[in-house]
Structure formats: C-alpha cells, structure tokens
Structure 1
Amino acid sequence: MKNIIYILAFLFSTVVFPQNEMLFEQANTLYNQGKYAEAIDKYTAILDTGNHSTELYFNLANAHYKLNNIAPSIYFYEKALQLSPNDKEIKSNMAFAKNMTIDAIDVIPETGLSKLIKNITNMMSFDAWAKTAVAFVLCFVILFLIYYFAYSTINKRLAFIGSLISLLLLCVSLGLAFRKFSIDKQNKPAIVFAQESKVKSEPNYRSEESFRLHEGTKVQVLDTVNSWKKIKLTDGKTGWVNSDDIKLLYNF
C-alpha cells in the first residue's frame, strides 16, 4: 500500500511541478505586459496546488499593488516575509503598499529588560534555540568527562568552569526556546480585508462600536467566539470584528 502511495505521489509531482513552472512563467509574462488581473489568476492557480514560495507571494503582491488592491497586496507581502523575513525588497515594497492604508495606528514602544529579552528571543527560531540547547548539553557532557578523567589540577579546574558555563547557557537557551514557542503560538496576525470594519466592544452586532478599521490594517487575533474575532492593535486597543472582515496570516 505504501509503495502505491509513493508511486502516486511521484507521478503527481512530475505532473504538477512542470505545470506550476509553466504557469509561473505565463503569469510573469502577463505581469510584464501590464495584464495584472490575468497574472493574478495564474499565480492563484499555482497557490491552489499547494505550492508556496517567496517569489510567488512577492509577485502576487506586486500584481495586486498595481491594481491598488490594498489588503491583498499587504497580505501577500506578509506571506512572502514569512518565508524570507530579512528580504529588503519585500519590506520596501510593502512600505509603499502600507502608504495606501487609511488607519494611522501608533506603536507602543517596548523599553528596558523586556525589549532586550524579546530581541534576543527573536534572534532565532524555536528549532534553532532547541538545537543550541542540545549543543550545550553535549558540551556539558564532554567537559564533565574531561573534568572526571583529567589528572592535572588546571585541566580539572578549567573543565569544571567550562561545564558550569555550558550548564548555565543550556538553561538560558532552553528558557529562550520555550519563550519563542510561546510567542509563536500566541502570534496570530491578520489583515483587514473589509473596506471598513466596525469594531465592537462585545462579540455581537448589538454592542457598542469601539472604533473602525479599514482595509490593509494589520491586527493580532486574541480570541474567537462564534463568527467574531477579538483583535488587538499595536497601540493596545482591543475589540471584536466579524471573522469575514479579516484574513489570518496562517503559518505554513
């Protein structure tokens, strides 16, 4: 049974991948010809096959930007950044797209120790911090064995100090790994797709309107109740919007 699945998967890949490459080239040609709506259809057809790449999202975002589709352009720039978070060209183009948004939302600056810890935590992914912790475990074990079997007092002392440092760094890297995992789990960004969204104080239409948001604004989703999402802005404001008004930036 497994062999049949592997064969079918192989046959599927040999058919789909060349088709995607052909669609991508066709979409790029249409884009260069200024036929942005048609190019979007081609790029979207590739996405429908489950293909994800920085270039695909970036080109799709550019096509939407050319058509002044604010929310989709920002959404797909964000998707491209998920795959290439340090790409300067993506960040530059997204800045132009964000200039078309209406909402001007302040960012509450982080200061002191919390900012330092957050910056250090975000230096690497959860997997990278976990691998770092494993490396320090190996260092601790090796240095402890050197300490145990060494005859020289100096070697014992150096190995002992080194093993303590490795143990300390192990604890730090583990702590940062779990903190990164927690941050990633709580991080649920979304883009407002409605031209104008009424943000309510409670998850129902009868509740008081807190404020309004417009397409292209990025929010954080905190909770879900039926067809409502509790959101938070960078300035600290919270409220409830209809789920249809926003689109979540799911991870891959």
Structure 2
Amino acid sequence: MTSRRALGRRHGLAIAALPAVALALVPTLAPASETGPPSATGVASPQEAAPAATPADRFQAGNSLYQAGDHEGAIEAWLGLYEDGFESGELHYNIGNAYFRLGELGRAILFYERASVALPRDESVRTNLELARSMTADQITPLPGFWVPRVVAWAVQLVPRGWLIAILALGYLGLASILLYRLLSTGPPRWTRHAAIAAAALTVVVGTNLLIREFGIGRAERGVILQTEAAVQSAPSDDPSLQLFTIHEGAVVRIDRRSSDWLEIVLEDGKVGWVRAGDLETI
C-alpha cells in the first residue's frame, strides 16, 4: 500500500475488512527533536548518523504491521504518532480499525468517534462506527432531538473544511481589494460599497463557521466507557446503596459536570448519573 499525499476521502475500501489507509500526516504540533547534541569531538553521534523516521514513515510502518496481521504492533506505531502530537481523522480511523480487530470495542468506538469529528462526511468512518456501536452490550435508544440543533449541525458541516478556508481567503482578499480601491479612488462607483458589504458578510459567515468547527464551540463534551462494566451512581460516591444501574464498554455518554474524580454523565436515552472519571475517556 502506498502513502497518499493528501488528507482526503479513501477510495475503494472494503468496509467489512476494516482496512488501514495511508496518508501524509499533518502535525498539529511539532514533535520534540529526536537527535542528540553534537559530540564534543566533532564526530557525528549515532543519533545524527541515523536520522529519525519521518511521521509518514512511521505511519506507513503501522500500515505494514496492520496488513501483516500484527494489530498490536500497528496500534503501537500509530499511538506513538498520536502521543507525539500528530493527529488526523485518518489516523484515528486506522487506530479504531486495529482496536476493532483486537476485540477492544470501547477503544475502537472511541477512535471512530474521534475520526467522525474530523471526517464528519466520511462514509467509511460512519459505517464502521455504526457497526461497532451495534455490537455493544447496551443497546440504548436515543431520545428524539429537537430539530433546530440538527439543522445547525448539518449547516456547519455542509461545506468541506478546505473549501471554507479557500472561500475565507478569497473573501479577505476581495474585501481588502475593494476597500483599497475605494480609498485610492476620488469618486468610487456605488457598486463598490455594495461589493464591500457583501464581501464582509461572506467573510464573517464563513469565518464564524470555521471557528465553530475548529474549536468545537457549542459542542457537548462526550466520552466513551472503556471499562467492561461501570456502576452509575446517583451521587459522586462509591456507596452501593446509591447505584442506579450499570453501563458497559463502548457506551457513548455526554459529560455534564465534574466533581473531583467523578463525572456526571447523560446517556442518549436521557438517563443521568455519576461514574468514576477513570471509567471513560473523552472523545
């Protein structure tokens, strides 16, 4: 399998096979330098003589391990990238696939959920997430949601991120050009005023959309239960008499409040309770 040069949609993937994909990783923060300082004698140290593998090489190494059936090795390679600060929807998707192969349903769902945040329109991610969630012990029926949040969420994700960035850049350039023209002209045409208003409005709308997507503004904090079974309490206490019910690995919950080592969660069917913070991991 060859490495792809762009982060984008995967083509020709068999969903049932839960394949790994290759990509050129885009780091969200630079990893620490892996080379040592120059030697006192001026001779290259072993670290300098053997340059560290690039993120793309490390990703491809994980792909090779996955294809060879070494899913634990693939996870180790990919998680090393993730822990070094490299992140992408495709990386999360691959980690989810490997965990699924190992039967670790909770972590598979966790990384599929993370992939779906980065790739909300990706059919492969959505299909694999639905498959994994259908295999959980808790078959929770979500409450019908109010239509306004659904419409807003749909509108925010309607335009791909790359297009939003391009439109925003064009809006800024257009607005700056029109304003500069009006400043330098002795009698600018009336249409330039309307064009400047339109460019400014476009820039504000697209910029706001991009900010909401990039920073998760208004997005509820969610988590996935990773323990085989977790007790849900009516209060942040281990008192057995306060236990309401239990939930199991792979359940997706909303996190409403925190109290020391406890989290107040809301299930998709509306049930509310407290669990130990160590029972889940945030998406």
Same fold (TM over 0.5): yes
Distance change in 2, residues 1:71/1:106 (3 Å): same
- Per the TM alignment, residue 225 of structure 1 is displaced from its structure 2 partner at its CA by 1.8
After superposition, the Cα gap between the structure-2 partners of 1:247 and 1:125, relative to the gap in structure 1 and judged at 3 Å, is farther
1:19–1:105 CA distance, 2 compared to 1 (3 A) = same
Question: Conserved in 2, the CA contact under 8 Å of 1:58 and 1:80?
Answer: yes
**Shift of residue 110 of structure 1?**
3.1
Partner of 2:146: 110
Corresponding residue number in structure 1 for 2:258: 224
1:188 lines up with 2:221 in the alignment: yes
CA distance in 2, matches of 1:189, 1:228: 14
What's the offset of the Cα at 1:96?
1.7
* 1:199 counterpart = 2:232: yes
For residue 73 of structure 2, what is the amino acid of its counterpart? Answer: K
Partner of 1:14: 51
**Aligned-partner SS, 1:103:** coil
Asked if residue 46 in structure 1 is aligned to residue 77 in structure 2, the reply is: yes
Partner residue, 2:268? 234
Question: Which protein has the bigger helix share?
Answer: 1
TM-aligned CA distance change 1:22 to 1:108, over 3 Å: same
SS of the equivalent of 2:224 reads: strand
- CA drift of 1:204 comes to 1.7
Range 209-218 or range 126-135, more displaced: 126-135
What is the deviation of 1:46? 0.8
**Residue pair 1:192, 1:218 contacting (<8 A) in 2 also:** yes
Aligned match for 1:25, one of 56, 64, 84: 64
- TM-score under structure 2 length normalisation: 0.64
Q: Which runs of 5+ in 1 are unaligned?
A: 32-38
| Identity across the alignment (%) | 18
Residue in 2 that maps onto 1:245: 279
Counterpart amino acid of residue 74 in structure 2? Y
* C-alpha contact 2:233 2:243 (8 A) present in aligned 1: yes
Matched, 1:167 2:203: no
Q: Larger deviation: 222-231 or 84-93?
A: 84-93
Measured after TM superposition, the shift of residue 173 of structure 1 is 3.6
**Do the aligned partners of residues 96 and 23 (structure 1) sit closer, same or farther apart at CA in structure 2, a change above 3 Å counting?**
closer
- Measured against aligned partners, the alpha-carbon deviations of 1:169-204 in whole angstroms (never above 9, x if no partner) come to 334345445544663475432211122222223222
Aligned CA distance change for structure 1 residues 215 and 178 (closer, same or farther; 3 Å): same
Cα distance in 1 for partners of 2:151, 2:181 equals 35
Instruction: Report the TM-score when normalising by structure 1.
Output: 0.71
Aligned mates of 1:24, 1:127 — CA distance in 2:
26
1:20 Cα deviation from its structure 2 partner: 6.2
Could you tell me which runs of 5 or more consecutive residues in structure 2 were left unpaired when the two chains were aligned: 1-32, 38-46
Deviates more, 1:7-16 or 1:231-240: 7-16
Structure-1 separation of matches of 2:49 and 2:269: 47
